[in-house]
Structure 1
């Protein structure tokens, strides 16, 4: 069995890692780390859970462990200061923070407003989007898990941008409140979110840096917060650089994702909805309107699964040469 530890085990993505890994046949969770819950009983957060360690621990990157795999479900700015110590650990690491998603330290500083303390490591860490970088992930010992908005948006655009077929795109993306993380803020209070829809960080969201590095076209990105717990739908309005008809576009997407177990491509008759994705690790891409130079498509994911913890486990499976789908849900909850 693969011995796993999770840092940040009491945050939303950490909790989701624990929940999903409980069903993984090749995993045993031997360490749960949380600086907010050190020495507290694990059953207080995970009542009824079996085969978990009894207490939460403090994580010390300098302390050697017998772990085979470590998940870092922590906020940005946490990992890059400790990277030198992490690299001495004899285990594979999946980083769910934003600290090593980008290749360019100046881009990190621009979007995250802090100087990167290990910029020389940035280009050596694969971007953990298996549908595009599977080969690099399989060979890696440290992988940077993508952001939730960027996962949906890159999967939506990449089959076209790879062929240089997009002149520009406008992405109107809507997310549930868990995308903001567990830490309380005024903007995520119930009375601020309930029955309201709000746009925020228009064309300045941090995940736009990932789009810049992986989708080489002009993009306007407008995220919105909607009054639901989880789920993302990215509505993409694309201007093509070449003329294509609907069949051309559908063929490009179907061929590109033909061997991607967690991407489903739908046609005109399908209703694009987060209901397809919530509770699963699957991204659903729905092609709608195609004129000679315009494509409209929608990508939906669960922000906590395919947009975070599920994708991290998908990466772990590849890193340990396990079946990519092992332990991961492919069918949504629907209700």
Structure 2
């Protein structure tokens, strides 16, 4: 029996860290040997997440205590803006999937514009592969560092990129109206995510300024072969998990929603985690909760020549930790679905 891959999770005390542990506990080829959480260093992981108490895990440690010689693969689940120097400082033998936004934008000037500070590892950025697995699988296979996509960009790019590439929809004038559960804001306590601030309501945020817009545009521009701008507005929903993107597009001459649905079904045929639903069936976040699946569909709009795309995912799984494990599987040559075939929880 071959030795297991030694895995470190940096930032294991956050929501995405907990999801990584939950998923990797089912992985037959890896062993979680390092879990970091600077503020909770020295504590058993079960003290932070009692629901995972049944898993044999090392205690939490600070990053500066890690012995990298005993690590083969790193999941970096640290906050945005804190990971570039950490990842750049990893030993050459260690592969990494970074779940933050720090390496998602290929243009370091765009990163500085949207994240408010200069990129701290511009040379490393040149070799990083963007980890939208279904699109960049071949590049991911050879990568040492993968930038895991954002939750909103995953739900927008998967339905849009194939349709733009085939010329079935106009690349201009796309509207992405997206909703997210509160876990998308992270686990750190903030006034705006208190129960009494979120429950019984819904509100948009980051209007015309959200940092996921340039990430979405990066993928769509590549599909179109020219710069593309989108109208993207996210909304915070009173639920723990889930992403719903409702996308409004202009169809090419003579193209209907049935054509869009057929093109998506053809593109994702054989993909284990992307499901194009039958005509008329509406995706719902409750249909993917706790799973790595993406559901999508296309509908004719009442406006002639236009269509509405809908796409759902669990923001903590396919939108973060699940896709990260999917990328690790590809990077290390494991079966891509390993530890990821949990069916959705309902209700």
- TM-score, normalised via structure 1 length: 0.95
Q: Which deviates further from its counterpart, 55-64 or 257-266?
A: 55-64
TM-fit CA distance, 1:43: 2.4
- Matching residue within 331, 334, 337 for 1:319: 331
TM-fit CA distance, 1:261: 0.9
Counterpart mapping for 1:19-168 below 5 A: 19-47=22-50, 48-53=53-58, 55-60=59-64, 63-86=67-90, 88-164=91-167, 165-166=169-170, 167-168=172-173
Q: State the partner residue of 2:250.
A: 239
TM-fit CA distance, 1:334: 2.0
CA contact (8 A) 1:243 1:292 kept: no
Q: State the partner residue of 1:195.
A: 200
Q: Secondary structure at the match of 2:214?
A: helix
CA contact (8 A) 1:64 1:89 kept: no
- Matching residue within 213, 221, 227 for 2:218: 213
Q: State the partner residue of 1:222.
A: 233
TM-fit CA distance, 1:156: 2.0
Equivalent residues, number: 333
Query: Structure 2: how far apart are the matches of 1:257 and 1:155?
Result: 9
TM-fit CA distance, 1:62: 8.3
Counterpart mapping for 1:288-303 below 5 A: 288-289=299-300, 293-303=305-315
TM-fit CA distance, 1:249: 1.3
Q: Which deviates further from its counterpart, 18-27 or 41-50?
A: 41-50
Q: State the partner residue of 2:284.
A: 273
Q: Which deviates further from its counterpart, 111-120 or 192-201?
A: 111-120
CA contact (8 A) 2:184 2:315 kept: yes
Gaps of 5+ in 1: none
Query: Structure 2: how far apart are the matches of 1:223 and 1:238?
Result: 17
Q: Secondary structure at the match of 2:286?
A: helix
Q: Secondary structure at the match of 1:296?
A: strand
Query: Structure 2: how far apart are the matches of 1:10 and 1:20?
Result: 15
- Cα deviation digits, residues 180-202 of structure 1 (max 9, x gap): 00111111111110101000112
TM-fit CA distance, 1:286: 1.6
Q: Which deviates further from its counterpart, 296-305 or 154-163?
A: 154-163
- TM-score, normalised via structure 2 length: 0.92
- Cα deviation digits, residues 53-110 of structure 1 (max 9, x gap): 1x21111398533111110011111111234312x24221110011111110111111
Q: Secondary structure at the match of 1:196?
A: coil
Q: Secondary structure at the match of 1:218?
A: coil
TM-fit CA distance, 1:117: 1.2
TM-fit CA distance, 1:241: 4.1
- Matching residue within 180, 199, 204 for 2:209: 204
TM-fit CA distance, 1:250: 1.8
Q: State the partner residue of 1:170.
A: 175
Q: State the partner residue of 2:293.
A: 282
Distance 1:194 1:245, change over 3 A: same
Provide the aligned C-alpha RMSD in A. 1.6
Distance 1:169 1:267, change over 3 A: farther
